Amino acid sequence: MNSSVCAVVVTYNRKNLLIECLEALRKQTRPVQGIYLIDNASTDETPELLLEKGYISELPPQNLREPWEKESGISNFTDGNIINLHYVRMHENTGGAGGFYEGVKRGYEKGYDWLWLMDDDTVPEDNAVNSLLEKANELKDVSVGFLNSKVLWTDGTPHVMNIPTLKPLINGTPFNLYEDEEVLLVETASFVSLLVNRDIVKKVGLPIKEFFIWADDVEYTLRISRSGLLGLYVKDSIVIHKTKNNYSASNIYDWRFYYHVRNHLWISKLHYKRRYVLSLLKNILLTPTFPLRIGYLNIKACIDSFIRSPKVEYCEEVRDSI
């Protein structure tokens, strides 16, 4: 419990929700030591609001050609100690996947013990990270790969986008083996309040930035699970995900549908190679059931998943290339 914790928050054009998220991080009963705030080139004057609220000490330069990082200190509201806020202004919008790649990479290189991932519209309850860390400590003899919170929507119902994947057996272990400890074992979880130790990052690598949006968290937690580790769903750790609607990505039919299809095909290609061709054919055969524009996105996603493959990067590789 004396380990250092760094929240990794990715933001894009949601400045008011971002401030609410940051305020909640400052209220944690178990204070965090750092925050990596990845600003994906927001255009809604996010830096100006952060400066006004005292989260950053200067505005980023204009016309960036590479990410710009500036560290400042803010006090937490629990004991008044300083939280190191690492503000990273990206030179372009790299999507949630690119943002989490950047935040995990930088947090790992900075030496934080635990990385706590979340979107900018996530509002953790005061005891959220403490509950996660307590379970990690109580089950320290378990091969824990990640821990995730119970995610609710604004009306108090479970957020359907952030429901983790349950299977009867996770790496041969019954999903309810530790239910007396008030946790369940899960195979995958979302980046809306996910806690991962730096040793796990070193072992399995970084989130895949090429995903851009959606399913990067599914792939990352699946990668952790398939390495033989266990994911813990901690019901006493609660966060509110303040999306406009309580929705699932599978029900969205706009430009984002391309990423939904391509990224899930990529997951099959990476982790279930024998299933990939069948999944690809199934998606192609579904094309006539979609409106013309969505059908085009579906075909494009299928083709792109076939001709390209994402690469998993490891922190040592990234450091050597800098």
* pLDDT profile of the chain (322 residues), mean per 10: 93 98 98 98 98 98 97 96 98 98 98 98 98 96 96 97 96 96 97 98 98 98 97 98 92 93 98 94 96 96 97 78 44
- List, in order, residues 6 or more apart from 210 with CB less than 8 Å away: 97, 308, 310, 311
pLDDT at 319: 53
Q: Packing angle between helix 292-307 and helix 273-285, nearest 10 degrees?
A: 160
pLDDT at 322: 40
Query: What is the pTM for the complete model shown?
Result: 0.96
Q: Are strands 5-11 and 34-39 parallel, antiparallel or unpaired?
A: parallel
- List, in order, residues 6 or more apart from 217 with CB less than 8 Å away: 100, 117, 188, 189, 190, 191, 194, 207
Q: Give the distance from CA 238 to its chain's centroid.
A: 16
User: In DSSP terms, which residues pair with 99 in a beta bridge?
Assistant: none
pLDDT at 2: 84
Instruction: Reduce the DSSP state of residue 260 to 3 states and report it.
Output: helix
- Give the pair of three-digit tokens for residue 37: 């705030």
Report which secondary-structure segment, H or E, holds 78.
Answer: none
* Domain ranges, ordered by start, for the chain: 5-250, 252-307
Q: Packing angle between helix 95-110 and helix 216-226, nearest 10 degrees?
A: 50
- CATH 3.90.550.10 for domain 5-250, yes or no, is yes
Q: Which residue has the tokens 């996010």?
A: 46
